Structure 1
Amino acid sequence: MINKTLNYKRDPNLNNEELIKEAKLTNNKELRDKIINNNIPFVKSLADRWYKRGVREEFDDLLGMGMVALMKAYNTYDTNKNIKFTSYLGKVVWKEFMAHSRYKSMKCRSKFSSISFNETLHKSKGTDEEKLLAEVISNDSHLDYLTVEDEMFNTHLVKQMDALLAKKERVVADKYFFEGKSISEIGVELGVSRQAAHQAFQRTIKRLKPIYTNWEVV
């Protein structure tokens, strides 16, 4: 289970852009995993910031969304565009949180949330993660592309879910990805414990991981 005790340390000297280009050109899975693991602390920072805003989400659920978004960001990142990977990753994760919040009918607009988030950053201590977070909200130039890509990916995801998932796993995936339900809510609806729901979710993610890591916009 993904949780707050994950102890990955970010190497600030790692060049995401160059390594992603190399990993994709050579199909190097070890290098891909190195990049993903190096960016987990940033994803945790995003999840932690969102959690501290008092949202009605458990941290594990937010981190689960963030990890899925991290795999998706790696896979869809265009190395030919003049955009830092951390900026792109932050937008993908942030957009995932916002989409989930809209579904849950939270009374906050994207603009207001960005402003609140920005104000929180100015009160922070200025760590490496905080500086990266500040970059995330600095410009939205690639969000239009991301929206179009989301629609294409979701169509592809549905087809692959039909092919790869068992019946129970498909139910979990539908509720999590398309209905915006939390792990706890899924457990209640399925009549199982939160731990059992988490285990089903982890099996689902494991089966779907190749989709996120091999998806390309064509």
Structure 2
Amino acid sequence: MLFPPQGVSIAYISNTAFPQPLSEEEEAGFLARLAQGDEEARSVLIERNLRLVAHITRKFEGSGEDMDDLISIGTIGLIKAINTYDTGKNTRLATYAARCIENEVLMHLRATKKYRGEVSLYDPIGVDKEGNEITLIDVLGNDEDSVVESVENYYEQERMLKYMQRLDQREKHILEMRYGLFSGLRRTQRDIARKLGISRSYVSRIEKRVI
């Protein structure tokens, strides 16, 4: 097992209950403090972005690597992102960090014995949740759009999770299945209705309350 980077509690690395992400205003405040050399602000920015690390590393689940190790490696990428992030650029910290996290994991995969030697982006690295073979190019993406989409999905899921705190257990379960919040597998309204023995219109009403 790899150790987490200095200053990051191992509880955050191994526990799925990551701290809530910062609001835009909070993030801007901590970034300003970091620019003045505040190390406490740096630690907060790392800890409060660990959900993003977990979100990005989930796409590597089929690589055969231990997920705790990948989250630890991804956290190194997050720290590099926070250390080098330029607030003057017109890019959100999460978008910049997502690319750094992804690149750090890919470099780790290439450096391991399994991937040592000449590596092709089209070499198979494992299978996805449906048993389909995936390659490096599948997880890397072809351009910056894939990172932006991943970050947008991350923020969508965070919004859902906050809203779900006000719902009862059945309503939470419906949204978890509809948006694949924990499994990564999105289900149709018809599938959910059939599985739970409820009407499709009820599933639709719950979803519209969120949207």
Question: Could you tell me the TM-score, scaled by structure 2's length?
Answer: 0.49
Q: Which has the higher contact order (CA 8 A, sep 6+)?
A: 1
Please say which structure displays the higher CA radius of gyration. Answer: 2
Q: Higher helix fraction: Structure 1 or Structure 2?
A: 1
